[in-house]
């Protein structure tokens, strides 16, 4: 009885100790050591930095002295790789970095690759020695050695379409400037930004604008001028960097005045007598004197405030000049409303200026000049000929000529052609075959029969057309000119040329295409050239020209088929070269009668088989194509459906032979195709590293000349593409569980509702034990049952898609959380697991777990004084000396005074270095945590 009471008393004490320890452990949960990510690149020398933007150009003189490329990382990582390529020379460089900061060149060494175009690809890894990478990022940039500084070329008022140059101390009227204008700073050479300081000297207001994009304008962004009127001073500077940083490349000051004076405008001129209808004067126009108002003068049309007008009239034929100033509206020349035009006929130029004050004083509001002609005699032109026309195509009509209806333009009419002036025309059309006569009167050009550009409706036969033109409308008065023409229109059914072909009238013929090239060995044996025709024909005439030698050969054929050199059994005798063949066809033998048609083509016959070249390789399915880059890695899910590898060729060739080698197994397959691009079945060689060699031949089935050989290497992978998923965080419903044999006990995870679960995903839990995080239990929910074995455990939430990951695949007692993280990192499953987990203590009734708890509590207290931090205060690097327990995983997190985490990582045995060079000066809290202990230290960072 005493022993039982003693044991129970000891169990109660152990139980309370364990409960206190469990709550202590749960309070100091481990920090997350999951894979970090790349946040960007910087040019840096440890003191100053310039962020690198993709495809941006940097002047080397603007970068930090002795700079290197610094890889910016968020979260946890232990190493990084750099792959650097000079895009101009093709040189490549690669380094590994195992300590932050990760730099190229390594160890914070100064950049030594000079100027040019560069590409950097970086990867970060969770462990040293690399393995699966956490994140990858590629960036391209240019470093120039030439100073990009330009200079200021001047200023102008502009709205993007119209401009007015700004002259120093000049005065401008607001209404004479472009609509919605802005002030544009003009620059020669390179610049990245500009500042414009606009001061209204009249009001005292000052406006400052900074622009990072051309054009540099005030107001900024091409906005319309909003600084009013008055006297202005503009001070401008341009810079070689964005945001007007550094010294200015150039500076320019300009003064000018903008006035808003209300002033009238000139609307135009007119011939007027202020009673009859006025006639507007158009620049360059001609007017008949007898059509103008009687006793007219020239009236100046204005709008807005005007007090006087000045006229200058020049007779351009005699050179005489006349001036007149008018102070009373209407402003007229020669003056007043009752003074009549006195200069007769001729060509004149009249200019007028309008003013805000009498006697042409004050500001000139507007000015304009026009030229016009007054004719005293009605103008008369002459007839220059006739043509068949439809407004687009035309055939000139020759007297007594014969025309075939089908050779004339579609929907043609007869067009009477005129030189000089005329107002109307009459056309008398007589069909001499039928005796019909048609009269047409036209008042508008073109003068046509039928009238109004209507299609010819007078049939076929012999025709006589009499055309007359007149100086007045409606064919009134005497005719200016008259012309008679005779012609015949026939509607004869005539054959047509359809084309040419190489033929021996037994093998398949080869059509001849204008400009085509043909290999002699691909043409029919003993071929000649066959003229293909349709419709009634009796003869054909051939003219063959060897364009290389200049030799010319002719042949007349009266029997179908019409061939060259003649008959069906005459063989082509001219060998190879480039030739032009023309053929004319006729309705009668020996090329007599009507010529029905003609055709010429140029072609080349090659005696040597031409050789092409392989330009590239592509993944293709006949519709979609992706170019294969040498050394490239491709996810099969990104390639076209049912793809095959295609060798893309250019130039002449007949076949290609592809050899596909699996570089992992050294197995090879050979494909021979005679059609480009390769039209094979879908890819069936699986995944891995491959080499494709393509050989191009001039003959079929890999025969003849080997024209080209090209090789490409690539890798095919099948990487699962997962959606963004996050297992989230949470706490346990209890940190201590007492388990009795045969009794099921469960623990709930109370989540923080921060998990990210795409459609189809769910949240489960796993129970792990030991530093290796060996999985002992799994659950498809946030409730998990406890094992009947006491000890220290962790509960981890896991977000997963049951379609790609089955929890039953986990081998309990063997699979670790790290195994699952590797599967996730390698894109083999779509999931996320909370690696840190939440500590949990399990006590079996009657077990001796209390001994371990007591021992670990004492150890923690003893080792708490083992940590050493120096220097403190720190500038760039904090040294942490600590002795780890066997199997202990100790992580750290540094927070600022607002509780925001700024650094995190994992500590190793003995000496560790934490980089603080990126932190601002101030007080920080460094918290270090493991399963068995935790420490909190204050760190002061100084700059």
pLDDT in tens, 234-245: 999 999 888 998
* Same domain for 397 and 367: no
Strand bridging mode 68-74 / 102-104: antiparallel
Residues 644 and 696 in one domain: yes
Q: What is the pLDDT of residues 528-581, one digit of tens each?
A: 999 999 888 889 999 999 999 999 999 999 998 999 998 777 899 998 999 999
Query: What local confidence, expressed as pLDDT, does residue 594 receive?
Result: 80
448 domain-assigned: yes
Same domain, yes or no, for 830 and 925? no
Do 842 and 734 fall within a single domain? yes
Residue 481 covered by a domain? yes
What's the mean pLDDT when you consider all of the chain?
Answer: 87
Average pLDDT over residues 847-865: 42
User: What's the rounded Cα separation, in Å, for the pair 84 and 140?
Assistant: 10
pLDDT in tens, 313-368: 999 999 999 999 999 999 999 987 778 998 989 999 999 999 988 999 877 888 99
Rounded (5°) CA angle 55-61-63: 60
Nearest by Cα to 760 from 814, 800, 798: 800
Residue 865 has pLDDT above 70, yes or no: no
User: Does the residue 476 lie in any domain?
Assistant: yes
Assess whether pLDDT exceeds 50 at residue 850: no
Question: Which residue reads 């101009």 in tokens?
Answer: 88
Judged against a pLDDT cut of 90, whether residue 669 lies above it is answered with no
Tell whether the model's pLDDT for residue 858 goes beyond 50: no
- pLDDT at 129 > cutoff 80: no
Whether 18 is covered by a domain: the verdict is no
Tell whether 724 is covered by a domain: no
Nearest one of 50, 69, 64, 133 to 107, comparing CA atoms: 69
Residue 331: name the closest of 287, 298, 374 by CA. 298
More confident residue, 707 or 33: 707
Last residue of a domain, one of 490, 523, 546: 490
Classify residue 862: in a domain, yes or no.
Answer: no
Residue 590 and residue 631 share a domain = no
Whether the CB-CB separation of 430 and 486 falls below 8 Å is answered with: no
Give the pLDDT band (50/70/90) at residue 501.
very high
Q: What is the pLDDT of residue 30?
A: 42
Single residue among 102, 117, 144 that ends a domain in this structure: 144
Whether residue 479 sits in one domain with residue 398: yes
The CATH number assigned to the domain holding 781 equals 2.60.40
pLDDT for 448 beyond 80: yes
Residue 108 structural domain = 37-144
Name the region of 728 (left: φ>0; alpha: ψ -120 to 50; beta: rest). left
Q: In which band, very low, low, confident or very high, does the pLDDT at 290 lie, cut at 50, 70 and 90?
A: confident
Q: Are residues 901 and 933 in the same domain?
A: yes
Q: DSSP string spanning 725-739?
A: -B---EEES-SEEEE
Least reliable range by pLDDT among 146-150, 443-447, 569-573 = 146-150
Q: What percent of the chain has pLDDT over 70?
A: 91
pLDDT tens digits along 580-629: 999 999 988 999 878 888 999 999 998 865 678 888 999 888 888 899 99
Give me the number of domains the chain comprises: 8
Could you give the 3-state DSSP secondary structure of residue 405? Answer: helix
Confidence of residue 860 (pLDDT cuts 50, 70, 90): very low
Q: Please give the model's pTM, rounded to 2 decimal places.
A: 0.27
**Is 218 within a domain?**
yes
Give the Cα separation of 434 and 460 in Å (integer): 9
| Domain final position from 375, 393, 408 | 375
C-alpha distances out from residue 73 to 83, 85, 109, 134, 618, Å: 17, 21, 19, 11, 36
């Amino acid at each position: 009885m005493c022993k039982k009471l003693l044991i129970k008393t000891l169990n109660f004490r152990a139980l309370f100790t364990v409960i206190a320890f469990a709550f202590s452990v749960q309070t100091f949960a481990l920090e997350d050591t999951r894979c970090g990510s790349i946040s960007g690149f910087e040019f840096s020398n440890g003191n100053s930095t310039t962020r690198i933007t993709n495809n941006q150009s940097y002047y080397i003189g603007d970068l930090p002295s002795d700079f290197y490329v610094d890889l910016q990382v968020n979260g946890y990582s232990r190493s990084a790789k750099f792959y650097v390529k000079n895009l101009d020379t093709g040189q490549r460089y690669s380094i590994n970095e195992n300590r932050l900061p990760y730099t190229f060149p390594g160890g914070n060494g100064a950049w030594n690759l000079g100027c040019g175009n560069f590409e950097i690809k970086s990867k970060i890894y969770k462990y040293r020695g690399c393995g699966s990478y956490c994140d990858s990022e590629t960036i391209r940039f240019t470093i120039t050695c030439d100073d990009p500084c330009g200079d200021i070329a001047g200023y102008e008022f502009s709205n993007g379409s119209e401009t007015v140059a700004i002259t120093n101390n000049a005065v401008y009227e607001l209404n004479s400037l472009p609509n919605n204008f802005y002030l544009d700073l003009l620059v020669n050479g390179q610049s990245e930004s500009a500042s414009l300081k606009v001061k209204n000297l009249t009001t005292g207001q000052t406006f400052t604008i900074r622009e990072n994009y051309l054009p540099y304008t005030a107001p900024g962004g091409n906005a319309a001028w909003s600084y009013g009127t008055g006297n202005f001073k503009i001070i401008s500077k341009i810079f070689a960097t964005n945001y007007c940083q550094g010294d200015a490349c150039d500076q320019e000051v300009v003064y000018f005045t903008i006035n808003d004076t209300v002033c009238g405008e000139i609307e135009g001129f007119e011939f007027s007598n202020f009673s009859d209808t006025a006639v507007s004067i158009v620049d360059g126009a001609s007017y008949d004197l007898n059509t103008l108002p009687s006793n007219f003068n020239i009236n100046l049309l204005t709008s807005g405030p005007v007090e006087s007008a000045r006229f200058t009239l020049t007779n351009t034929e005699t050179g005489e000049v006349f001036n007149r100033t008018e102070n009373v509206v209407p402003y007229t020349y020669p003056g007043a409303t009752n003074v009549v035009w006195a200069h007769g006929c001729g060509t004149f130029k009249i200019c007028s200026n309008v003013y805000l004050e009498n006697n042409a004083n004050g500001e000139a509001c507007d000015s304009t000049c026009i030229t016009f002609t007054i004719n005293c005699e009605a103008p008369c032109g002459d007839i220059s000929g006739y043509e068949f026309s439809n407004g687009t195509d035309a055939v000139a009509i020759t007297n007594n000529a014969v025309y075939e209806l089908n050779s004339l333009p579609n929907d043609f009419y007869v067009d009477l052609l005129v030189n000089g002036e005329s107002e109307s025309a009459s056309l008398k059309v007589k069909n001499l075959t039928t005796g019909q006569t048609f009269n047409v009167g036209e008042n508008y050009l073109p003068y046509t029969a039928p009238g109004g550009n209507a299609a010819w409706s007078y049939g076929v036969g012999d025709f006589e057309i009499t055309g007359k033109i007149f100086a007045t409308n409606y064919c009134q008065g005497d005719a200016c000119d008259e012309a008679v023409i005779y012609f015949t229109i026939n509607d004869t059914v005539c054959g047509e040329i359809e084309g040419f072909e190489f033929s021996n009238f037994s093998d398949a013929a080869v059509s001849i295409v204008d400009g085509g090239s043909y290999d002699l060995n691909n043409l029919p044996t003993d071929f000649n050239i066959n003229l293909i025709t349709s419709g009634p024909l009796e003869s054909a005439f051939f003219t063959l020209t060897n364009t290389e030698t200049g030799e010319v050969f002719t042949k007349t054929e009266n029997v179908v088929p019409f061939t060259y050199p003649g008959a069906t059994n005459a063989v082509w005798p001219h060998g190879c070269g480039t030739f032009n063949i023309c053929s004319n066809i006729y309705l009668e033998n020996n090329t007599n009668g009507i010529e029905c048609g003609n055709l010429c083509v140029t072609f080349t016959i090659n005696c040597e088989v031409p050789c092409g070249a392989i330009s590239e390789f592509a993944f293709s399915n006949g519709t979609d194509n992706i170019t294969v880059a040498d050394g490239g890695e491709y996810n099969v899910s990104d390639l076209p459906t049912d793809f095959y590898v295609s060798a893309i060729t250019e130039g002449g060739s007949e076949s290609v032979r592809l050899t596909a080698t699996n570089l992992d197994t050294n197995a090879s397959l050979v494909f021979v195709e005679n059609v480009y691009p390769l039209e094979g079945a879908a890819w069936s060689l699986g995944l891995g590293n491959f080499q494709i060699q393509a050989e191009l031949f001039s003959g079929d089935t890999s025969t003849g000349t080997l024209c080209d050989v090209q090789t490409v290497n690539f890798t095919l992978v099948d990487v699962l593409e997962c959606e963004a998923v996050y297992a989230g965080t949470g706490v346990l419903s209890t940190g201590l569980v007492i388990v009795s044999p045969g009794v099921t006990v469960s623990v709930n995870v109370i989540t923080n509702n921060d998990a990210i679960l795409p459609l189809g995903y769910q949240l489960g839990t796993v129970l792990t034990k030991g530093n290796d995080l060996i999985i002992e239990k799994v659950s498809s929910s946030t409730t998990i049952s406890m094992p009947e074995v006491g000890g220290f455990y962790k509960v981890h939430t896991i977000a997963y898609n049951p379609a790609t990951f089955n929890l039953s695949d986990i081998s309990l007692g063997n699979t670790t959380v790290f195994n699952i993280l590797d599967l996730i990192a390698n894109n083999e499953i779509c999931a996320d697991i909370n690696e840190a987990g939440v500590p949990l203590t399990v006590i079996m009734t009657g077990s001796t777990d209390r001994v371990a708890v007591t021992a670990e509590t004492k150890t923690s207290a003893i080792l708490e004084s083992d940590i050493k931090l120096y220097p403190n205060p720190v500038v760039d690097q904090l040294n942490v000396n600590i002795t780890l327990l066997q199997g202990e995983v100790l992580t750290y997190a540094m927070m600022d005074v607002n509780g925001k985490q700024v650094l995190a990582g994992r500590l190793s045995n003995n000496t560790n270095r934490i980089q603080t060079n990126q932190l601002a000066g101030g007080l920080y809290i460094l918290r270090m945590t493991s399963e068995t202990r935790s420490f909190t230290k204050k760190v002061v960072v100084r700059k």
